[in-house]
Amino acid sequence: MKSVDLNCDLGESFGSFVVGQDELILDHITSANIACGYHAGDHNVMAKTVKMAKEKGVSIGAHPGFPDLLGFGRRVIQTDPTDIYHFVIYQINALKGFCHIHDVPMNHVKPHGALFNMAAKDPLVAEAIARAVYDTDPSLVLFGLSGSELTKAGTHVGLTVANEVFADRTYQTDGTLTSRTEENALIHNTADAVEQVLTMVKTSTVRAVDGSTIPMQADTICVHGDGPSALEFAKELREALVSEEVTISPIGSRTSST
């Protein structure tokens, strides 16, 4: 029987600026990647999101990104691996503090936005992130783009890794995500996105933008929580997976590997 985790990026509100429907989406996912204040979120939002995730039994993870509130962490910042290592440690431990006061474990780490995409291709960035996670807590699971440099680096340092796939993004022939600057980066039709997920889960492959079929291991599926139809999509995707007899469970409850 196939088993997969459903994750969503949450805690992206800031002050009085509200993003997404976190409390409702938590009913349909198994893992929450919570922003740590650098690309989104703040101390109050972090505390609230950890509390909600605990109450709903959703596995909690840190979602560190570049220090870029204005650009939502989607702009590349040129810096060195030591800086990346330090700011990833900083953000993971900020969220760990809120997990501690709410007496709930942290399960995983998933980089955000431009940092995630850089780590998929750049071995030095990938190693800096993997080392930061391992040195903070070697029991944490590292989420990375399926088959990427980040999952390789995580395995190399001794972490459990989860290969992540995306429901609403298209793929290049090398297995990377199509840049958001391209018109075909996003899949807007819900049925097409669900079909892509089912193909990845059932066949471990995905159709790239040029029509070719490439390998794609799906340990965890990202459902973006900031779109206008995010809640409905999360519900439909979960229902579709269950109807195909796919078990929905958090990564920490089963073994995952590259």
The yes-or-no verdict on residue 159 having pLDDT over 70 is yes
**105, two tokens:** 């474990």
pLDDT of 122 strictly over 70: yes
> 3-253: CATH homologous superfamily?
Glycoside hydrolase/deacetylase (3.20.20.370)
Residues 129-146: what's their mean pLDDT?
Answer: 98
CA distance 96 to 132: 14
pLDDT higher than 50, residue 257? no
Gap between the Cα atoms of 151 and 119, Å rounded: 9
Q: Return the domain boundaries, the chain.
A: 3-253
Q: Is the pTM of this model over 0.75?
A: yes
pLDDT digits (tens, 9 = 90+) for 186-238: 898 889 999 999 999 999 999 999 999 999 999 999 987 666 677 888 889 99
> Which ranges of the chain would DSSP assign to H, the alpha helix?
22-25, 43-55, 81-101, 113-121, 123-136, 149-157, 190-203, 230-243
